[in-house]
């Protein structure tokens, strides 16, 4: 197996992950830097046009999932193998680049703050447009409170999808003694699945059958991160001075109040910590979708709830990395 990207030891991978987290906090995703998720999204869009019509759409949806994951894995492995063969420093730099692009804390915070800024300026039309970039629901007629709710919900959900779950798979990859299942390979396969779900994983047409495989696989790989990540969000909420007891109570009571098996977990944590109510009716592709509520309306939804949700996101990432660092010291010292 000489020449394969056996890569770096677990300790070195962990250091690279830690550097990637800090770089994501500092620079996020600069617009001038090519982003692999954009390439994955364009691939999904192309295959959607080619496959999502006619009969056997569910089977074609499975084909879509296999093609996108297969292409992603093959390209990542091929580039890792090539750069590892050429120069170890190029290999390290490439992996660091992919780690930073897989994390979305800074980017999510910036995009969410655009909604908050528009709302604070009283520009409801701009806030509708901005939140429309973040959610799949129809935002063209949302009122202020509905915009706030949508923004808080997507920030809570993406605390898992865009921040904690990628770190989970990066750390898992550092522990797996299999060369090609290194942290970057795992996290890029996770991001490809997450992108598939965000683009085709809807229960409305034309994606009901075609997006079935992508949605279910995304549910599967997010099952553990959603639950572990929500606990880190609760712990962060405790340190940040939010209502920890209510956070635990609402999390226990409402974490299954969603058709997705994972989405209500982080949303229930945020609802409990902030004393607000999320969930309810939304419109997707012209169809009204009734959802149970999450949380108790102890406080009315306010614009600053958006900022508080961002704070919980960053806090949970810090708690996770502190915990991971302590565990890494113990594991790698043994």
Read off the pLDDT of residues 176-233 as tens digits, 9 standing for 90 and up.
877 778 999 999 999 999 999 999 988 888 999 999 999 999 999 999 999 999 999 9
Confidence of residue 6 (pLDDT cuts 50, 70, 90): very low
Is 1 a residue whose pLDDT tops 50? no
Q: Which of 6-10, 37-41, 219-223 has the lowest mean pLDDT?
A: 6-10
In whole angstroms, give the CA distance from residue 135 to residue 125.
16
Q: Give mean pLDDT, residues 310-323.
A: 98
Tokens at 258, concatenated? 């969603």
Nearest residue to 217 (alpha-carbon basis) of 195, 244, 246, 197: 197
Q: Give mean pLDDT, residues 270-274.
A: 98
Label residue 233 exposed, middle or buried (CB < 10 Å: 0-12, 13-18, 19+). Answer: buried
In whole angstroms, give the CA distance from residue 67 to residue 65.
6
Is 2 a residue whose pLDDT tops 50? no
pLDDT digits (tens, 9 = 90+) for 123-179: 999 999 999 999 877 888 899 999 999 999 999 999 999 999 999 999 999 988 777
Strand partners, 284: 287
The pTM score is 0.93
Question: Looking at residue 3, what is its pLDDT?
Answer: 40
Question: Looking at residue 287, what is its pLDDT?
Answer: 62
Question: Looking at residue 56, what is its pLDDT?
Answer: 94
Confidence of residue 286 (pLDDT cuts 50, 70, 90): low
Question: Looking at residue 8, what is its pLDDT?
Answer: 66
In whole angstroms, give the CA distance from residue 87 to residue 64.
34
């Amino acid at each position: 197996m000489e020449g394969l990207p056996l890569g770096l030891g677990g300790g070195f991978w962990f250091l690279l992950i830690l550097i990637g987290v800090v770089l994501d906090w500092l620079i996020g995703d600069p617009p001038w830097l090519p982003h692999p998720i954009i390439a994955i999204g364009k691939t999904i869009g192309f295959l959607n046009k080619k496959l999502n019509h006619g009969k056997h759409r569910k089977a074609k949806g499975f084909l879509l999932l296999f093609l996108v994951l297969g292409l992603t894995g093959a390209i990542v492995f091929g580039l890792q193998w090539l750069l590892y063969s050429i120069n170890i420093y190029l290999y390290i730099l490439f992996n660091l680049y992919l780690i930073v692009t897989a994390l979305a804390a800074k980017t999510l915070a910036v995009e969410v703050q655009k909604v908050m800024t528009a709302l604070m300026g009283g520009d409801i039309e701009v806030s509708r447009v901005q939140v429309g970039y973040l959610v799949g629901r129809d935002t063209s007629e949302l009122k202020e409170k509905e915009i706030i709710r949508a923004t808080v919900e997507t920030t809570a959900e993406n605390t898992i999808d865009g921040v904690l779950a990628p770190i989970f798979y990066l750390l898992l990859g550092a522990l797996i003694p299999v060369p090609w299942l290194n942290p970057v390979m795992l996290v890029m396969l996770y991001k490809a699945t997450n992108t598939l779900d965000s683009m085709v994983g809807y229960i409305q047409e034309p994606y009901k059958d075609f997006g079935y495989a992508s949605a279910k696989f995304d549910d599967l790989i997010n099952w553990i991160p959603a639950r572990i990540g929500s606990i880190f969000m609760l712990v962060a909420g405790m340190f940040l001075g939010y209502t920890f007891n209510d956070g635990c109570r609402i999390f226990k009571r409402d974490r299954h109040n969603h058709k997705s098996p994972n989405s209500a977990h982080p949303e229930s944590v945020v609802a409990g910590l902030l004393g607000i109510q999320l969930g309810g009716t939304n419109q997707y592709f012209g169809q009204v979708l009734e959802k149970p509520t999450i949380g108790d309306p102890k406080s009315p939804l306010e614009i600053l709830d958006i900022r508080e949700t961002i704070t919980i996101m960053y806090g949970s990432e810090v708690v996770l990395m502190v915990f991971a660092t302590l565990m890494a010291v113990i594991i790698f010292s043994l």
